[in-house]
């Protein structure tokens, strides 16, 4: 899996890929979030590996400014 890049907004490396735990959501979604400025990617559902990869890719794409 790709390593997460620093936050595109504040430059912090305190970014984390984690699993959302929502009572009203039957699916376990994965997101990447910056703990400094609280920005995060969309949530992704699917297989665990798919979700992790999609969230990581979405975050890294945002860093590149595409």
Site for Zn ion in 2-61 (CB under 5 A): 7, 9-10, 12, 34, 36-37
Residue with Cβ nearer Zn ion (35 or 53): 35
In sequence order, which residues have a C-beta less than 8 Å from that of residue 27 and are 6 or more positions away?
A: 45
Residue with Cβ nearer Zn ion (7 or 55): 7
Q: Which region holds residue 52: left if phi is over 0, alpha if psi is between -120 and 50, else beta?
A: alpha
Q: Site for Zn ion (CB under 5 A): how many residues?
A: 7
Q: Measuring CA to CA, which residue among 34, 33, 58, 35 is closest to residue 46?
A: 58
Binding footprint of Zn ion on the chain (CB under 5 A): 7, 9-10, 12, 34, 36-37
């Amino acid at each position: 899996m790709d390593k997460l890049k620093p936050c595109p907004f504040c430059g912090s490396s305190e970014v984390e890929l984690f699993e959302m735990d929502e009572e009203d959501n039957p699916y376990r979604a994965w997101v990447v979030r910056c703990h400094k400025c609280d920005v995060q990617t969309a949530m992704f559902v699917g297989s665990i590996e798919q979700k992790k990869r999609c969230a990581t890719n979405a975050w890294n794409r945002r860093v590149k400014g595409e």
